[in-house]
């Protein structure tokens, strides 16, 4: 599952707003939002990519690591389902 994110006008603002909304959520809801993306898969919608990027920044902010890979500041990919244990996320199947 990969998506090539090409920045458009308004993306920074949209991602910032999504990120601020996620900041208000408990860790379990953030993990559920990510797992939902994994279940659905990357469908190629730009708005979905904005949401995934916002999740990535929140994961880094809260957990200091992210299950979302970003290669060359361009290619977004999801790495698998995760769970929450002892206030940290972990891979369910790894």
Whole-structure pTM value: 0.94
Print pLDDT tens along the chain (94 aa). Answer: 689 999 999 999 999 999 999 999 999 999 999 999 999 999 989 999 999 999 999 999 999 999 999 999 899 999 999 999 999 999 998 5
Domain ranges of the chain: 2-91
- The pLDDT value given to residue 79: 95
Tallying the residues shown for the chain, one arrives at: 94
- The pLDDT value given to residue 94: 58
Q: What single string gives the DSSP state of each residue in 14-82?
A: HHHHHHHHHHTS-HHHHHHHHHHHHHH-----HHHHHHHHHHHHHHHHHHSS-SEEEETTTEEEE---E
- The pLDDT value given to residue 73: 87
């Amino acid at each position: 599952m990969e998506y090539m994110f090409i920045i458009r006008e308004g993306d920074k603002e949209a991602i910032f707003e999504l990120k601020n909304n996620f900041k208000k959520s408990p860790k379990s809801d953030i993990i559920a939002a990510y797992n939902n993306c994994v279940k659905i898969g990357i469908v190629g919608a730009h708005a979905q990519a904005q949401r995934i990027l916002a999740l990535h920044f929140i994961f880094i902010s809260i957990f200091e690591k992210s299950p979302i890979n970003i290669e060359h500041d361009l290619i977004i990919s999801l790495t698998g389902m995760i769970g929450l244990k002892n206030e940290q996320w972990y891979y369910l199947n790894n």
